[in-house]
Structure 1
Amino acid sequence: MDITSYVGPAFRLLRERAVVSQEDLAFRAGLDRTYVSGIERGRRNPSLNSMQRLAVELSVSLDQVFILARKLAEQDEDLPAQKRVRKPHAHS
């Protein structure tokens, strides 16, 4: 199972649970807000360093982030294709 596209949504969910704005999280982690936004939307591929910085500021471990990402992926797989959060990419 590929959880890559679910890591960003996992960070977003953890941030929302912590009741922290993207701007505050980015500032505390020493990252740009637009970068954090891109991570959460799955548009950016964060480095391990960036993920660690975000996790520290959210008071979670990377293990917790990856476990949540896997759960999100599993939930998505159970949905019909048209209702999935992350649509599979068409291969050319």
Structure 2
Amino acid sequence: MKNRLRVLRAERDWSQQELADRLSVSRQSVNAIETGRYDPSLPLAFRIADVFGLAIEQVFEPDRERQTG
């Protein structure tokens, strides 16, 4: 799943650790989501969107290549 997490975080000048603290997850989890190594659970995806004050669709989008591959 593609996401805008890194961009949204940078716009707010938050470190990965600051975002992790807001989400109650590890910094490694934030890094794994940002780099696409890990897709968050649905509840976590909604928490991420909420932290940024956005709809989930504004943060995440399906990875079309993975779906057709």
- Retained in 2: the 8 A contact 1:18–1:58? no
Specify which structure has the higher proportion of strand. 2
Q: Which residue identity does 1:15 align to in structure 2?
A: R
Q: Which has the higher contact order (CA 8 A, sep 6+)?
A: 2
Count of residues in correspondence between the two structures:
66
Unaligned runs of 5+ in 2: none
Q: Could you tell me which residue of structure 2 aligns to residue 31 of structure 1?
A: 25
Instruction: Quote the RMSD (CA, aligned, Å).
Output: 2.2
Q: Could you tell me which residue of structure 2 aligns to residue 41 of structure 1?
A: 35
Unaligned runs of 5+ in 1: 74-87
Q: Which residue identity does 2:24 align to in structure 1?
A: G
Return the index of the structure with the highest Cα Rg. 1
Normalised TM-score (structure 1): 0.60
Q: Could you tell me which residue of structure 2 aligns to residue 52 of structure 1?
A: 46
Among 8, 11, 29, the alignment partner of 2:5 is: 11
What's the offset of the Cα at 1:63?
Answer: 2.3
Q: Could you tell me which residue of structure 1 aligns to residue 59 of structure 2?
A: 65
Q: Which residue identity does 2:49 align to in structure 1?
A: A
